[in-house]
Structure 1
Amino acid sequence: MNSLNQQWQYHYKNILSPMILARSGGDTGTFGLVNSMLGAGGIAGGIAVAAGKRTKNPRKMIYISAGISFLLGDLLMGAGRNVFAWSAAGIFASFPIPFVMAGQSILLYRIVPENIQGRIFAIRNGIQNSTIPIGLLLGGYLADSVFEPFMVSHHAAAVFLQSIVGRGPGSGMAVMFLCTGMLGALSSMLGYRNRSVRNLTGPA
């Protein structure tokens, strides 16, 4: 559960910080407010999970919540051009995360035999944590060497994307958020409909 939260935090901090600062002209107040909204959304989501009824089907909790986070969070974060849009995106992105984490925990504790839970969770956490450095390095490389240069080109696709995210410093990283939003929502939908996952969680 902690490693999932860490991965989400690193995903945002790796690209979000330079994107907000670049697109706001280095306004640390704007970045601080957006960061605060990310934290507030996560806290509110945690309270909602704790206060709600226990779900009978964690598949909905995991994949629908993740899809909402990607669609409303990442897409709005990329398309937004001011502190209000970015703050709303921060709330939309972080509020569903506790639901994802809770659903994952429910599913794992339900299907993993008690006598091997420690080993299984240790292996899972090790695998998840091992991907963090790769994501950090890859995200930085893609931002500096691929997306940012592409968005200052005159390519037809770049011109089209500029109509969505704008142009100038940070626009390439904004497109990266659009990509994670669309791909994340698609993977969440496919995961929700996956037969193997459905067999683990039972009917919707």
Structure 2
Amino acid sequence: MTTFILIWFGQVLSLVGSRTTSFALSIWVYQHTNSITQFTLLILSTTLPGILISPIAGVFVDRWSRRWIMIISDFCAGLCTLTIAWLFVSGNLQVWNLCLFSAISSSCNAFQTLAYSSATTLLVPKEQLGRASSMTQIRLAIAEILSPALAATLLVTVQIPGIVVIDLTTLVFALICLLLVKFPEIQTTKAQGEEIGFFSSFWQEITFGWHYFIARPGLIGLVAFVAISNFLIGGAEALTTPLVLSFASTQALGTISSIASSGMLISSLIMSLWGGIERQMNIIFTSMFFFGFFYVLAGLLPSPILFTISDFFIFFILPIVNGAIQVIYQKKVAPEVQGKVFAFRIAVTQGFLPLSYLIAGPLADQIFEPLMAADGLGATNIGQIIGVGTGRGIGLIFVIMGIFSIIFTFIAYLYPRLRLLEDELPDSK
């Protein structure tokens, strides 16, 4: 796993840099617009393009060198970040052009993410996939812990330009790591594409993931379960920053986010050392139940302590459930088609997130925040439980989404193809 660890280390630093920039820019947008809708619009621009481009990216990941896809993708994302810094320094940075370059960077990241996850299956022995998946979650955890605190601190010292310089420095290090190593690659043939025509072949490969899942009811059940769960809790996730800023300062937001994100690192380290249990579906169902529970708890009161505890456990659960899902796919899907299959999975499961983000902003601004204002319709009833005033409408959204998530998890458990997925679908050779 030496090659994997070297690549992993470079990606850790790069992700910390990019997440710090993203977090700082999201705070900048919210403070300069004071609009939850525009804040969620930025989140939408960083997620939707990558989701839409994933099916196309999956085809190229299975056709081309995964190492060079990662190198080119990282380089292009760096150019987008550099452009944003230039717009800020020249005084021309606005929400619309920030969203535009965030969208382009998101598209590049779609290629990079698929290439990275597909290459992991080739780099790591099957019996070590659980640990490799945990290390990938550790990478995310480190970024989630460091980036909020770094962004909050650097915004008042070096500001956006300085943050971008740090981001680009970490990106260069990641590129050097990729240039120093070589991936084992899947050998592909062009014979079929040459016989039926390039575009016909390309379209077949884009739709390959759909047909692959349809033939495997357990996997399509897992995709649907994760997709709907993402929709239920995605809106609450997008509203975390406005909720915390309703009862805490920007510096407190960074501290709360870092403390909460340490849960992600702790659970990732535990899973990395332990390796997890064999029954991944049991882990997924249990984790999704507690996801809903802690989202309810996070929205219940405007308390920094209660929110930090709840968010800590949300992040603690995140790498456990994501790792379990990833292990199932890496075991059940053949390496030579993982790019296309993983692309379809990402497009569907994460495709519900932008929809949730799109709904969450206007819901908070126009319905739930007025509802839970001091003179709102919910002040005399629901307000007696969760409080009234700024941010309480968002808190109510957290509670509702969490309850729905718990109910849906129980419903999904009743579907036998999903519950028995690991028994009914054999591992790939």
Q: Same fold (TM over 0.5)?
A: yes
Taking CA–CA contacts closer than 8 Å with sequence separation of 6 or more, which of the two structures ends up with the larger relative contact order? Answer: 1
- Which deviations, in whole Å up to 9, do the C-alpha atoms of 1:17-63 show, x marking residues without a partner? 11111133xx2233222211232111112112112243221111111
Matched, 1:61 2:283: yes
Counterparts of 2:253 and 2:394, CA distance in 1 = 15
Query: What is the distance in 2 between the residues matched to 1:28 and 1:69?
Result: 25
Once residues 159 and 188 of structure 1 are traced to their aligned partners in structure 2, the CA distance between those partners, rounded to angstroms, is: 32
The partner residue of 2:264 within 42, 54, 61 is 42
Matches within 5 A, 1:28-107: 28-71=250-293, 73-107=294-328
Aligned mate of 1:178, from 399, 402, 405: 399
Q: Deviations over 1:71-96 (max 9, x none)?
A: 1x211110132211111011111101
Aligned length: 196
Greater shift, 170-179 or 54-63, is seen at: 54-63
Please identify, of 51-60 and 86-95, the stretch whose mean Cα deviation from structure 2 is larger. Answer: 51-60
Mapped contact 1:57–1:202 kept (Cα < 8 A): no
Q: Take 1:44 and 1:149, find their aligned partners in 2: how far apart are those partners?
A: 39
Map of 2:243 onto structure 1: 19
Could you tell me the TM-score, scaled by structure 1's length? 0.84
Aligned counterpart for 1:121 among listed residues 337, 342, 346: 342
Per-residue deviation, 1:154: 5.1
Q: CA deviation at 1:119?
A: 1.2
Contact 2:364 2:394 in 1 (8 A): yes
1:78 and 1:175 in contact (8 A); partners too: yes
Retained in 2: the 8 A contact 1:59–1:192? no
Q: What letter corresponds to residue 103 of structure 1 in structure 2? A: A
After superposition, the Cα gap between the structure-2 partners of 1:39 and 1:83, relative to the gap in structure 1 and judged at 3 Å, is same
- Cα deviation for residue 13 of structure 1 reads 5.1
Cα drift, residue 170 of structure 1: 0.5
Equivalent-residue separation in structure 2 for 1:101 and 1:114 (angstroms): 19
Detail structure 1 runs of 4+ shifted over 3 Å in the superposition: 7-13, 128-132
| Distance in 2 (alpha carbons) for counterparts of 1:129 and 1:105 | 14
TM-score, length of structure 2 as denominator length:
0.42
CA contact (8 A) 1:77 1:90 kept: yes
- Aligned match of 1:146: 367
Please give the secondary structure, in 1, of the residue aligned with 2:381: helix
- Displacement after TM superposition at 1:200 (Å): 0.8
Aligned Cα RMSD in Å? 2.6
Q: Name the CA distance, whole Å, in 2 between partners of 1:154 and 1:81.
A: 17
Contact 2:368–2:397 (CA<8 Å) still a contact in 1? Answer: yes
Mapped contact 1:19–1:174 kept (Cα < 8 A): yes
Corresponding position of 1:166: 387
Structure-2 separation of matches of 1:125 and 1:11: 18
